[in-house]
């Protein structure tokens, strides 16, 4: 049997270390699927929707640092991947979509060829940094190599490759593939300037973002923090870069008023791998980092974009931190009184936020943390439970164990968790709202088919809880956010996932014990109507208490 374009793709994935790909079979990708299975080095995970599969590839990439891959069909299949690629691009996640295309003899002719998608490349380019579309079999290997090289050069990004169906069947020549080894080393003059700024300061803070985790630089960041005795604040994507039970960790509280006020006397901010993202209604843009700022980022477009950088260092975070750390031995540690002010503010903010959760939700949170292994994955969708305790108060203890939709979308949490759990094989917990869960509930069948080690906690308040709260506070009424109560446990059972509904903390704890002992997936439908209410303060104009029993 001849070596074909499809064999080239299967071989390339294996050479690039891709152990799983997500996909839905189609007439326009069948040769690739067959070649992958014949080669036997990469497992195909059959998802139920291309958007979910792309989110799963995203979770796979974030949990491992490897490339996540979704194989789709041309036209409608590919258009379904766009939302997943949007989230991946927003989160600097290395997700590759491989899709088919009409055969080259019909491409561009407008003959209504089945699944014709003549504008597929510009559509993908809107959510990918690089897209390739070979027109001859000799361009296939180089096109794939170009996309992968782009994804792994500098800041992570999504990419796409469309392959006309005739090229998948065409005879090809084998190629060697490897990931690029490009190094973004810092300018040593800049490092010297940074060292001088650190030397001249005594009240320093570190703000660490997802770029530190992407660079595998957690150890280097912790070394810097310990040498300077310096508080570390993280972004939501930077959580786990230092254990949140470490005395130097403030956590994801930079945007908290209490913490922001406490750090105002800082004379130096060291920002690493963070975009300083601006929230809804322009939130956080006015929260200028205190003192002078050293900003280290692998993407020069990020340096000084949101806030003025007094010194910008274009470099990989690991390389920059390594260089700085080699010269820090004789530098003065942070001012103790300054640190104490921050520790007191941190403890106060944590206690105040915990108090807002009411009587039941702190126990639910503590139960999950106690039963989830230290390196277990904790994934959240955009939901009340994530906003009020999952994104800040739930302790994250190791890198790549915290995940949420960076773009703010609702729905990606569950399929991202499926991909992350498949990638790592680790017991994982995903926290979801019922509204967002309905976006991809059919992936319960995927979780059952592959016995994914995932505990799915659906916090069920019969609607889009966050939006309902915002409507109530801003307009005094609720519009189109009540969805009715779904029996998620019954839904899960119908797709082969064991499940139960719980109505108390004690029932939740017992259910979680059962779920953690299960080899495969388990769903817990948390009926919020029977739990004590929590105070909600998400993007508030004013704070109100919402009783979910009403």
In the predicted structure, residue 541 carries a pLDDT above the cut 50: no
Of 324, 348, 372, the domain-final residue: 348
Give the pLDDT of residue 542: 42
Asked if residue 454 is part of any domain, the answer here is yes
* 358-411 per-position pLDDT tens digit: 999 999 999 999 999 999 999 999 988 888 899 999 999 999 999 999 998 999
Give the pLDDT of residue 64: 96
Model-wide pTM > 0.85: yes
In the predicted structure, residue 193 carries a pLDDT above the cut 50: yes
480 in the same domain as 388: yes
373 in the same domain as 313: no
- In a 10 Å sphere around its CB, with 0-12 CB exposed, 13-18 middle and 19+ buried, how is residue 196 labelled? exposed
Domain of 110, CATH number, reads 3.40.50.970
Helix H, strand E, coil C: the string for 1-65 is: CCCEHHHHHHHHHHHCCCCEEEECCCCCCHHHHHHHHHHCCCEEEECCCHHHHHHHHHHHHHHHC
Asked if residue 181 is part of any domain, the answer here is no
104 in the same domain as 242: no
Angle at 362 between CA 358 and CA 365, to 5 degrees: 145
Give the pLDDT of residue 545: 44
Using an 8 Å Cβ cutoff, are 221 and 351 in contact? no
Give the pLDDT of residue 278: 65
Of 298, 330, 348, the domain-final residue: 348
340 in the same domain as 361: no
Give the residue, 468 or 498, on which the prediction is more confident.
Answer: 498
Asked if residue 178 is part of any domain, the answer here is no
* 230-277 per-position pLDDT tens digit: 999 999 999 999 999 999 999 999 888 899 999 999 999 999 999 887
Helix H, strand E, coil C: the string for 459-500 is: EECCECHHHHHHHHHHHCCCCCCECCCCCHHHHHHHCCCCEE
Percentage of the chain surpassing pLDDT 90?
Answer: 80
Asked if residue 180 is part of any domain, the answer here is no
Q: How confident is the model over 23-51, as a mean pLDDT?
A: 97
423 in the same domain as 381: yes
361 in the same domain as 510: yes
322 in the same domain as 197: yes
Of 113, 135, 169, the domain-final residue: 169
Q: Which 8-state DSSP code applies to residue 186?
A: P
Q: How far apart are the first and last CA of the chain?
A: 67
Q: How confident is the model over 224-235, as a mean pLDDT?
A: 96
307 in the same domain as 257: yes
Asked if residue 182 is part of any domain, the answer here is no
437 in the same domain as 318: no
Give the pLDDT of residue 549: 42
Query: How many structural domains is the chain composed of?
Result: 3
* 306-322 per-position pLDDT tens digit: 899 999 999 999 999 99
Q: Which 8-state DSSP code applies to residue 138?
A: G
Chain Cα centroid distance, residue 262? 29
Asked if residue 183 is part of any domain, the answer here is no
164 in the same domain as 257: no
Structural domain boundaries enclosing 60 = 5-169
Domain of 338, CATH number, reads 3.40.50.1220
335 in the same domain as 395: no
525 in the same domain as 435: yes
Asked if residue 176 is part of any domain, the answer here is no
Give the residue, 244 or 541, on which the prediction is more confident.
Answer: 244
Asked if residue 306 is part of any domain, the answer here is yes
Q: Which two tokens stand for residue 247?
A: 């005395």
């Amino acid at each position: 049997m001849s070596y074909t374009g499809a064999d080239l793709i299967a071989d390339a994935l294996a050479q690039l270390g891709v152990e799983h790909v997500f996909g839905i079979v189609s007439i326009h990708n069948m040769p690739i699927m067959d070649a992958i299975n014949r080669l036997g080095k990469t497992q195909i995970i059959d998802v139920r929707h291309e958007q979910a599969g792309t989110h799963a590839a995203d979770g796979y990439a974030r949990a491992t640092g490897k490339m996540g891959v979704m194989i789709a069909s041309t036209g409608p299949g590919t258009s379904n991947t766009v939302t997943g690629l949007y989230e991946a691009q927003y989160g600097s996640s290395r997700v590759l979509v491989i899709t088919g295309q009409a055969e080259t003899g019909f491409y561009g002719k407008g003959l209504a060829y089945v699944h014709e998608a003549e504008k597929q490349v510009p559509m993908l380019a809107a959510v990918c940094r690089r897209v390739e579309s070979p027109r001859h079999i000799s361009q296939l290997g180089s096109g794939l190599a170009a996309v992968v090289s782009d994804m792994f050069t500098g800041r992570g990004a999504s990419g796409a490759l469309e392959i006309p169906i005739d090229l998948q069947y065409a005879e090809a020549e084998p190629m060697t593939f490897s990931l690029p080894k490009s190094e973004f080393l810092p300018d040593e003059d800049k490092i010297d300037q940074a060292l001088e700024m650190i030397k001249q300061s005594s009240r320093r803070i570190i703000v660490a973002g997802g770029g530190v985790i992407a660079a595998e630089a957690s150890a280097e960041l912790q070394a810097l923090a310990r040498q300077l005795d310096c508080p570390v604040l993280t972004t939501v994507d930077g959580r786990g870069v230092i254990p949140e039970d470490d005395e130097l960790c403030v956590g994801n509280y930079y945007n908290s008023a209490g913490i922001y006020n406490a750090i105002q006397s800082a004379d130096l901010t060291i920002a690493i791998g963070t975009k300083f993202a601006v929230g809804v209604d322009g939130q956080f843009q006015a929260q200028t980092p205190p003192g002078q700022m050293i900003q280290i980022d692998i993407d020069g477009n990020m340096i000084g974009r949101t806030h003025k950088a007094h010194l910008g260092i274009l470099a990989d975070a690991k390389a920059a931190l390594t260089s700085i750390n080699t010269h820090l031995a004789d530098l003065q540690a942070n001012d103790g009184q300054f640190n104490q002010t921050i520790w007191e503010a941190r403890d106060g903010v944590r206690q105040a936020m915990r108090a807002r959760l009411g009587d039941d939700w702190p126990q639910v949170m503590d139960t999950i943390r106690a039963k989830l292994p230290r390196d277990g994955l904790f994934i959240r969708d955009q939901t009340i439970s994530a906003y009020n305790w999952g994104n800040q108060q739930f302790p994250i203890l190791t890198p790549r164990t915290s995940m949420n939709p960076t773009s703010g979308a609702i729905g990606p949490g569950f399929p991202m968790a499926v991909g992350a759990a498949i990638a790592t094989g680790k017991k994982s917990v995903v926290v979801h709202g019922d509204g967002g869960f309905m976006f991809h509930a059919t992936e319960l069948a995927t979780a059952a088919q592959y016995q994914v080690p995932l505990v799915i906690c659906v916090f069920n308040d019969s609607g889009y809880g966050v939006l309902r709260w915002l409507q109530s506070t801003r307009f005094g009424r609720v519009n189109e956010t009540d969805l009715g109560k779904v029996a998620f446990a019954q839904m899960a059972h119908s797709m082969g996932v064991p499940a139960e509904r719980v109505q108390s903390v004690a029932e939740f704890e017992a259910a979680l014990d059962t779920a953690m002992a299960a080899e495969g997936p388990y769903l817990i439908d948390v009926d919020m109507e029977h739990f004590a209410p929590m105070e909600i303060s998400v993007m508030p104009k004013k704070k109100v208490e919402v009783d979910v029993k009403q």
